[in-house]
Structure 1
């Protein structure tokens, strides 16, 4: 191993988030609805193994060699049949990190009337879709709940070898869960956090 090996490995490196192995991307679809600019949401199919029946944006796991932006557009087409050419991508929104397990890349985009006309939800993945006017979201801030993240350290952790007592004060954390009370379809979790961030920036 030489110093030049480090130059070769790290020159031009784009930093990611350490220890996070999985990446996901979603489209945050804006459309012109009957009540003005609106967000398009999905309800996940009840037959899905993960998070059946939950409200979400179209998206999924980033495949090897795929950019998060391309993933968001691909998943939107697979789930809703909205062609990528009918989505005007405005900007990536702030990324979310889920407790060190994965990173989520949201992309704000405007779906054209032709894209909405082409929309055909895939029954295997999508139970239904619905629109929520932006004005409603701005007028109804979410109810925000929180829960504590407590470290649970294994009994065999080597306190003696690192020179610290068993009473070492590990850091805990907290996460928030915003809930928008849209009738019959509450918007919450990561989807709620994305919506809250977008609305706070637009208020």
Structure 2
């Protein structure tokens, strides 16, 4: 799944912004408002307030300033406990524009060289769409295929990840792309750096930034981009000369908020933006 909304395996979903609505005046675009998770131990009975989607977790928020050794040991329980206590949001079928296709992505995390790494890919420049863009492993779901199974299959096909080595920690909110995809993102954990065998026909390079690097505010910026008559905030991460943005940047941003103990004040689905998009397409669900 590429940085600008491409779904992997050479099936482009179209360039454009991560589906988040914003004001359309010329004022500087602020970052999304946040609310914080309480730093409280989860009770045995549960840990989710369904009305507010606020969760409480044992491991507590993480920071890019945390010592590497501490950070490495806390990432998995932090992600696993938080996602387990949140019910992923789904886009209602009635809101889905005609022709949208289901897709899945895997966000692989693993410890390596004293840091927790996130696996990203850069598409080859020979591909007909979205050449050179950065993405998570992912792609369109096959007929009858489960969302989690599709994420694991695509990761195996694109970079050779053995599904048997991946522990799926949970699922994030469903998102949509302006290329016409409904994307279900899964966070996966591997106990060590896997053997990576990228498909040379599609993958030019595998990137392995550390989560602590990506959590540093100096690498993150938000820009406003226009698509289908609306302005959208788009998240960018500048890492070692590479630019991670669009759908991939949006998912990274949400993962980082989860690690920090913060969530957006609004859900990821952004139905008002989707309705505007649908109106411009001239189609219904």
TM-score, normalization: structure 1? 0.76
Match of 1:126 among 188, 199, 203: 203
Which residue of the partner structure matches residue 109 of structure 2?
30
Structure 2 residue runs without a partner (length 5+): 1-90, 261-285
SS at match of 1:23: strand
SS at match of 1:65: coil
Which residue of the partner structure matches residue 169 of structure 2?
90
Matched, 1:200 2:257: yes
Distance 2:205 2:228 in 1: 36
SS at match of 1:196: helix
Which residue of the partner structure matches residue 49 of structure 1?
128
TM-score, normalization: structure 2? 0.55
Deviations 1:145-164 (A, max 9, x none): 0123454xxxxxxxxxxxxx
Change (3 A) 1:49 1:34: same
SS at match of 2:205: strand
**What's the offset of the Cα at 1:126?**
0.7
The structure showing larger relative contact order (alpha-carbon pairs under 8 Å, at least 6 residues apart) is: 2
RMSD of aligned Cα (Å): 1.9
Change (3 A) 1:99 1:125: closer
Structure 1 residue runs without a partner (length 5+): 1-13, 152-172
Which residue of the partner structure matches residue 143 of structure 1?
221
Greater Rg over alpha carbons, structure: 1
Number of aligned residue pairs: 167
Distance 2:107 2:145 in 1: 19
Q: Report if the CA contact (8 A) 1:33-1:131 is conserved.
A: no
